[in-house]
Amino acid sequence: MHSNYLVIDFFNKQLVDLKNNNIDEYRQKSEMLIESILGIEKSELYINNHFIPNNHLECLEQSFSLLLKDVPVQHIIGKTYFYENAFFTPPGIFIPRPETELIIDCVQNDFDKIPDKTVLDIGCGSGCIGITLASLYKNFHVKGIDISKQAIDIATKNAQHLKISNIEITKQDIFEMPAKKFDIIVSNPPYLGIEEISQLDPSVKNHDPLKALSDEKDGLKFYQYFINNLSSILKKDGSMYFEIPKSKITNQIIDMIHNNSNIDSIFFKDLEGNNRVIKVFFKK
Ligand SMILES: C[S@@+](CC[C@H](N)C(=O)[O-])C[C@H]1O[C@@H](n2cnc3c(N)ncnc32)[C@H](O)[C@@H]1O
């Protein structure tokens, strides 16, 4: 049964409210909500002949009221698209960012589909990096670790939902991980300094978990660990790929790598031309 409320009228009214409340990217977020709740394509939304089904009106109203409170749209709809799949990302889980897909591109650039490799995803969160690699490379044996029990539960759910079986997901603090070496290591670690948190947009600072955003120090803790302990976690001919921020610590990370005489590195830029992923490996 349809209400006599046109989707486009409802949508336009929400846009005005969101704009007046200074919600970032309000049109894009609204389109995502409508698409997800009503199951209609963006192109259909702008056609003036769709009425809101009665049983969806309340859900739409509630969802837009959350958007007005700056709740991230990925938490409202409960999923985030990353590479070729949708990942469950309920509240409490770090929302995968599009720029992190560059790590996948870098691995794909280096490996064809054949090799049998062990892979470690440090701070796997929703599992987006490790699960995507496990799905692209059926011969990879991926281990995803995270300190957060909730992240582990959701990453496990994502792997099951996507029917990926060549990944093992474990609750583990990287700083206490028993020594084991991997062929490939990937990571998008918490890299904000604790003093940067208060400056973040409310949709980030009030919703992404603090432990996913920051090392609760200067942002360098994970990079220091990766570079100082590389020989304990990475095989001799292995490669590690990690995301870096565009911030005041970027040059410190680069200096740390350059000051280590055993390590070589390659930098990869994001679409805006910033160094975004670093590949490190042992000098031959
Ligand atoms: C920036 S999020 C990245 C999540 C996911 N890989 C992604 O790219 O969307 C960082 C993740 O590291 C986890 N984490 C924080 N401290 C950790 C630690 N000491 N050991 C393992 N994981 C940790 C957080 O819980 C969070 O899920």
Instruction: Kindly give the confidence (pLDDT) of every residue in the chain, 284 residues in length, as a single tens digit, with 9 standing for 90 and above.
Output: 777 889 999 999 999 999 999 998 999 999 999 999 999 888 888 887 888 999 999 999 999 999 999 999 999 999 999 998 999 999 999 999 999 999 999 999 999 877 899 999 999 999 999 999 999 999 999 999 999 999 999 999 999 999 999 999 999 999 999 999 999 999 999 999 999 999 998 889 999 999 999 999 999 999 999 999 999 999 999 999 999 999 889 999 999 999 999 999 999 999 999 999 999 999 98
> Is the CB of 215 within 6 Å of ligand 1?
no
Say what the pLDDT of residue 47 is: 82
**HEC string of 228-246?**
HCHHHHEEEEEEEEEECCC
The alpha carbon of 181 and the centre of ligand 1 are apart by a number of angstroms equal to 20
Q: Put residue 148 in one of left, alpha, beta given phi > 0 → left and psi -120 to 50 → alpha.
A: beta
> Is the CB of 211 within 6 Å of ligand 1?
yes
- In angstroms, the CA 266 to CA 105 distance is 14
Q: In this structure, what token pair is assigned to residue 275? A: 């160094």
The closest residue, in CA terms, to atom 24 on ligand 1 is 212
The alpha carbon of 237 and the centre of ligand 1 are apart by a number of angstroms equal to 25
- In angstroms, the CA 194 to CA 89 distance is 24
Range(s) of the chain covered by CATH 1.10.8: 2-69
The alpha carbon of 27 and the centre of ligand 1 are apart by a number of angstroms equal to 30
Work out which ligand 1 atom sits closest to the CA atom of 129: 6
The closest residue, in CA terms, to atom 26 on ligand 1 is 212
Range(s) of the chain covered by CATH 3.40.50.150: 93-282
CA 268 to centroid of chain Cα atoms:
18
Task: Tell me the CATH number for domain 93-282.
Answer: 3.40.50.150
Q: In this structure, what token pair is assigned to residue 267? A: 């930098």
- In angstroms, the CA 70 to CA 208 distance is 12
The closest residue, in CA terms, to atom 2 on ligand 1 is 212
Residues 161 and 128 sit within 8 Å (Cβ to Cβ): no
> Is the CB of 94 within 6 Å of ligand 1?
yes
The closest residue, in CA terms, to atom 9 on ligand 1 is 96
Angle 101-110/128-136 helices, nearest 10 degrees? 30
Q: Looking at the DSSP assignment, which residues form a beta bridge with residue 267?
A: 278
Say what the pLDDT of residue 60 is: 96
Among 1.10.3210, 2.60.40, 1.10.8, 3.30.1600, name the CATH number for the domain at 2-69. 1.10.8
The closest residue, in CA terms, to atom 11 on ligand 1 is 123
> Is the CB of 174 within 6 Å of ligand 1?
yes
> Is the CB of 190 within 6 Å of ligand 1?
yes
